[in-house]
Structure 1
């Protein structure tokens, strides 16, 4: 095969990989975010009817947080296995688990039918969902980015970053359609279940797409080295790259908290506190997520031009400014201003999330890339993403309906994130086929010369 033919073949596989990763992850995120929408609207009444409205909402949002809490477990197990047996095999398993858990969730009896077993089983299925997504998110990112040319990694990263807002549009669009066609009683009785039950389609589509993609070149190169046989990815990620894991975890604490503040808490705040109709809330979220898709793509593309660090700083500073005007504009209850501010807020949050995949992937060598990236990503969601809606509801109640305590917490997290960005090394263009290839380096912490080659990706 000629060099040009080989390059064309590699580019074709890269395109196929990012397509498979984007579509497959968007389908998995669809189920995950669908639950977020119903947990803020119908699940409190169906699964926690014995509680007062505020506590029922807190309990329901708590089950949403359980899914995020389970993601680190999925990240740890799948990350270790992905660094050992490959990215592709893990991706086939996670999409299957997510789809089956979602189907069962759509068939789950309510508290009125089986009592306390209803919320127990709800939590169990939510844990399974979180486990699958914890392994899925990073694996799909690496599958695409390890196939990408260095000058296209940001672009591919932006495409991966649109999975979450795309799933939000799909989930809220489906709920809006169903709630418009059914009465309120019918929607609460069975309408919300329909998209969950149809999740078996996700399994079929996800498996078909991912079976068409080869294992990544970086992992195939890793398999030729001694460390692929002797290394322990999880242990090596913590022992040799622990500072890098912590840096990127603390960075993502800001975007993770802001994302769930907007897509979960804001829906509850708009519909319950401001008493805006549910259909209007769904429309606002759909519009904001259109902006988020643009933001994710813009962030990824800009990071290819000016570097990961500068592009991340742009998004972080923008969200910091928007925080101070977000709730006052929502309180106008005027549709267009609400749509604009939610679009800008979610757009610049996803601007950072569009850069996150490539920033994380470039920060770690191949032998610990899955483990290290997954620990940082899911750790941030565990610390701030999952708890954010619950903390926001509690603060809103504790401060008698004033949202400024919520703003204060988010500002602090945003400043932490910005600090991590400004003190981070630039990684754009780094060799992603690199690994801690010498057995001596694995056991002693890398030789001086090899450590120098990796100094850009450590704290």
Structure 2
């Protein structure tokens, strides 16, 4: 509720820095953010229930194999995100940002609701995991068009002033999706017996998607096309697909790589480390109770909200580059020792349940959330600012979804597999550590400052 009130006050005036005319930024921000929240809620509910879905759809005598199979299915949705971004990003440059929004939100909503009605392996055998993977592919395609494209849409409406602060709210939708999903599952597990939750309770978060879909669809119906795209449409006779042209232009190609490697991959790694893998680690390696892990997940999300908005605000003052670079460096330095400390304090809590162990885990999660907030706070604005208007949607969405899908989305699977291969629950964390270290060097050397860019050009 506080987020909606803040957005309600934000830019409630009718004029948008000379770019949007009478367009009401408040209406745009709420509708765009709610739609993106639904995409993330739908997409990440599967991750929240990965431990539950494993034995239901991938029965095996080895729980580690079942967990890996469930994570593979989650990763499949992430892997196809770049395909969705290439398709819908190109459409966004040709037919406009808004029509693509309407298509992606419907695809995601229908796929998610269908998961809630899927028979399990015990009911239809091998068809259960096949159908589940098919729906995850559908989710991944729609997420590829939504996540990244929504950043361009909102940033083009935001105008040229205070873009970092205005657009940072969009980055809260992923954590908010996890928060709502986690709260639902926590309440359901309290209200239902373990047998009831295993039998049908896990389906409820997927069923609820139909109501969220109707609200999001209605909110987006009243949105207008971005002023930048409308102006662009007047100046060119035909909106050609810019996807191939992006790779032919050396400067755009360079910026697409920087977006992929430095900004989006770093943000995706930190997001999945903090918001997804931490819960998996605490449940499977430390063996904390699911209820306690859910409390920490909620805490991590709540802490991230003000940190993300602060980072967006700070980037309007000191620049996007130093804020993002600070978050990447902090993540590279702290991820591995953070999980060592989480294991130490978690084991201590299991053995003695002391307040100091609980507080220690809270401090560690806060620092991890800070590194994530510093990267994603300015990220929405950066996605749009790096590219010219005519090919912005396709140039921004492809590398962003490639990073989120192939780097971030596969991170839980890769880290879990490396841990099992080396027989050490921390061995796999060297992968995100080394990646962030290399990204920090590239960011420092090559990432341009973009906060003063005019989006109309």
Structure 1 counterpart of 2:316:
304
Aligned partner of 1:253 in structure 2 is: 265
Q: Please say if residues 292 and 351 of structure 1, whose CA atoms lie closer than 8 Å, have aligned partners that are also in contact.
A: no
- TM-score scaled by length of structure 2: 0.90
Tell whether the 8 Å contact from 1:295 to 1:348 is kept in structure 2 after alignment: no
Q: Distance in 2 between matches of 1:194 and 1:266?
A: 24
Q: Indicate whether 1:415 and 2:425 are aligned.
A: no
Aligned partners of 2:435, 2:22: CA distance in 1, in Å?
Answer: 39
Within a 5 Å distance, the mapping from 1:14-413 to structure 2 comes to 14-39=25-50, 41-226=51-236, 229=238, 231-240=240-249, 241-251=252-262, 252-331=264-343, 332-333=345-346, 334-403=357-426, 405-413=427-435
**Contact 1:289 / 1:347 at 8 angstroms: preserved in 2?**
no
Contact map agreement 2:308 2:374 (CA 8 A) in 1 = yes
1:310-348 superposed Cα distances (whole Å, 9 cap, x missing partner): 111121122223214211221111332222212321332
**CA distance in 2: counterparts of 1:134 and 1:275, whole angstroms:** 34
CA distance in 2, matches of 1:288, 1:115: 38
Q: Which one is further off, 346-355 or 307-316?
A: 346-355
8 A Cα contact 1:271 1:277, kept in partner = yes
Unaligned runs of 5+ in 2: 1-12, 347-356
Deviations 1:207-231 (A, max 9, x none): 11112221111101110123x6163
**1:13–1:213 contact (8 Å) kept in structure 2:** no
Q: How many angstroms does 1:51 deviate by?
A: 5.0
Segments of 4+ in structure 1 off by > 6 A? none
Question: Secondary structure of the residue that 2:234 maps to in structure 1?
Answer: coil
Asked if the contact 2:56–2:120 (Cα under 8 Å) also holds between the matched residues in 1, the reply is: yes
Contact 1:248 1:420 in 2 (8 A): no
* Structure-1 residue corresponding to 2:6: none
Q: TM-score, normalised by structure 1?
A: 0.90
| Aligned counterparts of 2:443 and 2:22: Cα–Cα separation in 1 | 31
CA contact (8 A) 1:11 1:148 kept: no
The root-mean-square deviation of aligned C-alpha atoms, in Å, is: 1.7
* Counterpart in the other structure of 1:448: none
Q: Which runs of 5 or more structure 1 residues have no equivalent in the other structure? A: 435-459
Tell me, in whole angstroms, the C-alpha distance in 2 between the residues paired with 1:378 and 1:230.
23
